[in-house]
Amino acid sequence: MPQTLTPERCHGLLPQNGLVWLNECSAASPLLHRVIAAEPGPQGLTVTGVFVPGLNRLSPLAGHGRRIETVLAAPDLDGLPGDQVSFLPLSYRDLWGRLCRRPPDAALFAVSPPDRDGMCSFGTVCDVLPALWPRIPVRIAQINPSMPRTAGAPLIPLAALSAVIEGDTPLPELAPPPHAAADLAGQHLAELVPDGAVIQLGLGQMPEGALRALASHRNLRIHSGLIGDAVLDLLLAGALAPGSPVDAGVAIGSRRLYDAVSQDAFRFRPVSWTHDRLRMAGLGRFVTINSAQQVDLFGQVHSEMAGGRFHSGAGGAPDFAAGAGLAAAGLRVIVLQAARGPGRPGRIVAAGAGEGPVTLSRHDVDVVVTEFGAADLRGLTHHQRADRLIAIAAPADRAALSASLSGPYSAAMAWNRDRA
C-alpha cells in the first residue's frame, strides 16, 4: 500500500526535469500545489494540465526552475517570463493525442476515499487520468473526502498510488450568476433544439445561462466535455431523459452540482470517449452550444483573445463541431452577448476583423444566437450570412457593420449578393 506523506515529502518523488500532470479544473487543491512548490527539490519540472481561466491560479507555481505548460491561456499567467510559461494552441482531442505520444512522468490529483475494494474515483475531473494513469510512473493522490464518487470512468486502485496525501479541501466553485442577455438568447436557442436532442455545452456564462431555457423540453441527453449547474437544473426540471442521460468528462459548478454528480443520472468519461468524432457521429440530433469572444460577418468564430491578450484556448469546440458535422441531424450553435455596454464595440464584427486566431471556421458554424435573435447561416452566400448576422448584432453597431460591406471584402460580398 502507498505511504501517507506530507505534501513537502511528496515533492521529493517528482522526477528531475520531469513532465508533471496536475489535475486542476474542479479538482484543484492547495495541498497538491504544495507538492510542486516545496523547496528544495527536483529542478526542471514542467507542470502541465487543463487550467481553467477564472477558476485555477497557477502563476505561484512557476519559477524556481519550474515552468507552466497550458492549453487554456489565463490572465494570471500573462506576467510570467517567457521561459516560465508556454501556451500550446491545442484542442482537447489534440491534447489527448499529445499525451498518448508523450505521457507525463508524474501525476498529482485528488480522488474520493477508497471503497471497500480499495478503489478510488477521480470524481468531478475524469477527462484525462482515468485512461492515462497506467502509463504514468509516479502517481501522487490526495484522498479528499469532499471529492464525490462518480460512475462511468475507470477507477484507480489505492495500491497503484505511489504516495497518498490525506486532507479534506473544498472543491473550487464557478457558477455564473443569472444573466439577462443569456436569458434572452436562451429563448431563441429553445426554438432550435428539438425534444430528444443530445446537447454539448461549452464553458461560459452565455452557454450556461442559455441552456436553462430548455427546462420545458423533454428527453434531452447530455454528451459534453464539461457540465455546469445548468445541466443539474435541467435534470431537476424533468427535461432530461430517464436513466443516465448525462455523459461528461468534467463538472465545474457550485457545491450543489458536486453533491449531485454521484447520482445515477451522471456518467463521467475520459476525453478519448467524450471527444471521439465517430461516437458523436452516431448521436443523431447532436446540438453543440459554445461561446465566442467575437463572430465576424463571414461567420468565423474568435474565442481566444480579447484586448490584445489570450484569455482562453480552443478547448473542445473544434472537436465537437467536427463531431456534430458528421451527425445525421447535427447542429452547431454559437451563443454570445452581442452588446457590451455603452461606448464599447459589440461582439459581431466586420468580415476579417475578429481578434486573434479563428477558433471555428465559417464551415464549422450553423447558427449564431445573441440576445437579439438567431442567425441561421446554413446554405447562404457570404452577403446573406452578413445580413443575418447584422440583424442580431447590437443595434448601435448595425449601421457600421452594414457600411463595412463596402470595405475590403466588398467585391466578394457583391459577387455573392448579385447571384443570390
**CATH number of the domain encompassing residue 31:** 3.40.1080.10
Q: Would residue 173 count as lying in a domain?
A: no
Close Cβ partners of 307 (under 8 Å, ≥ 6 residues apart): none
Query: What is the spatial distance between Cα 418 and Cα 391, in angstroms, rounded to a whole number?
Result: 20
Is residue 114 reached through a cis peptide bond, with omega within 30 degrees of 0 on the bond before it? no
Half-sphere exposure (CA, 13 Å, Cβ side) for 185?
Answer: 31
Q: Which residue has the cell 452540482?
A: 257
Task: Give the other-Cβ count within 10 Å of 73's Cβ.
Answer: 20
CA neighbor of 392 nearest in space, from 413, 362, 368:
368
Q: Would residue 116 count as lying in a domain?
A: yes
Query: Is 414 strand, coil or helix?
Result: helix
Domain boundary among 116, 134, 166: 166
Number of domains in the chain: 2
Q: What percent of the chain has pLDDT over 70?
A: 96
**420 confidence band (pLDDT: 50, 70, 90):** very low
**388 confidence band (pLDDT: 50, 70, 90):** very high
Stretch 111-116: mean pLDDT, rounded? 98
Q: What percent of the chain has pLDDT over 90?
A: 83
Three cell numbers, residue 262: 454521484
For residues 89 and 151, state if they share a domain.
Answer: yes
Q: What is the pLDDT of residues 278-323, one digit of tens each?
A: 999 999 999 999 999 999 999 999 999 988 888 888 999 999 999 9
Query: What is the spatial distance between Cα 289 and Cα 202, in angstroms, rounded to a whole number?
Result: 6
Query: What is the spatial distance between Cα 172 and Cα 14, in angstroms, rounded to a whole number?
Result: 25
**What is the chain's mean pLDDT, rounded?**
93
- The answer, yes or no, to whether residue 416 has pLDDT greater than 80, is no
Confidence at residue 41, expressed as pLDDT on a 0 to 100 scale: 67
Pairing of the two strands 119-120 and 286-290:
unpaired
Range scoring the smallest mean pLDDT among 12-16, 39-43, 361-365, 415-419: 415-419
Stretch 221-232: mean pLDDT, rounded? 97
Three cell numbers, residue 396: 448601435
For residues 246 and 376, state if they share a domain.
Answer: yes
Domain hosting residue 195, numbered range = 180-418
Domain boundary among 118, 134, 166: 166
Close Cβ partners of 116 (under 8 Å, ≥ 6 residues apart): none
Task: Give the other-Cβ count within 10 Å of 222's Cβ.
Answer: 22
Partners of residue 125 on adjacent β-strands: 250
User: Phi and psi of 222, rounded to 5°?
Assistant: -120, 125
- Runs of H (alpha helix) within 169-270: 180-190, 205-211, 229-237, 255-260
For residues 96 and 127, state if they share a domain.
Answer: yes
Confidence at residue 419, expressed as pLDDT on a 0 to 100 scale: 47
- The answer, yes or no, to whether residue 371 has pLDDT greater than 70, is yes
For residues 159 and 290, state if they share a domain.
Answer: no
Query: What is the spatial distance between Cα 169 and Cα 27, in angstroms, rounded to a whole number?
Result: 10
pTM: 0.94
For residues 151 and 67, state if they share a domain.
Answer: yes
Confidence at residue 308, expressed as pLDDT on a 0 to 100 scale: 86
Count the residues in the chain: 420
Residue type for position 134:
P
Q: Would residue 227 count as lying in a domain?
A: yes
DSSP run (H or E) holding 294: strand 294-296
